[in-house]
Amino acid sequence: MNFLSIDDFKTVCDHQTLTVIDQNDSSNLDRAESYAIEEVASYLRTRYDVSATFSKSGDQRNGYLVMIVADVALYHLVSWLPKRIGFDTRETRYNQAITWLKDVQSGKATPDLPTPTDPDTGKETSQPVRYGGWGKSEYQY
């Protein structure tokens, strides 16, 4: 695992549940995490620097984003289980996570995440509001 640790998953489910959900195979947890990161990044990519966001570790990470990624990863893990054991709770938390990500994408929620910057100038390259227009046209007939 890169972005999440086992302790991060324990904040949204207990250890015994996690062992059952990941089917006692850490590669399942790693695969679910990579799927979750890509899914979450697809919502954040237009406004935030996702490579900088997901390269952080420990206390440098946004706590709420850690919880969202863990919830999405656990949702994917539960969907792989036979008879979808515990699916209702995971589905509810997944839907809440996606709702928050859509709010971030539309600008209704603004998490404390790094924004893309131009490496040469250091200025922010992602503006939520575009402004300006075409140059003035002069017509002479």
Q: Kindly list the averaged pLDDT for each block of 10 residues, start to end, along the chain of length 141.
A: 84 83 82 93 91 91 94 88 75 93 90 83 68 81 79
CB 36 within 8 A of CB 73: yes
Distance separating alpha carbons of residues 125 and 12, to the nearest angstrom: 35
Q: How far apart are the C-alpha atoms of 72 and 56, rounded to whole Å?
A: 19
What's residue 17's pLDDT? 80
Question: What does the pLDDT read at residue 1?
Answer: 55
**pLDDT reported for residue 129:** 63
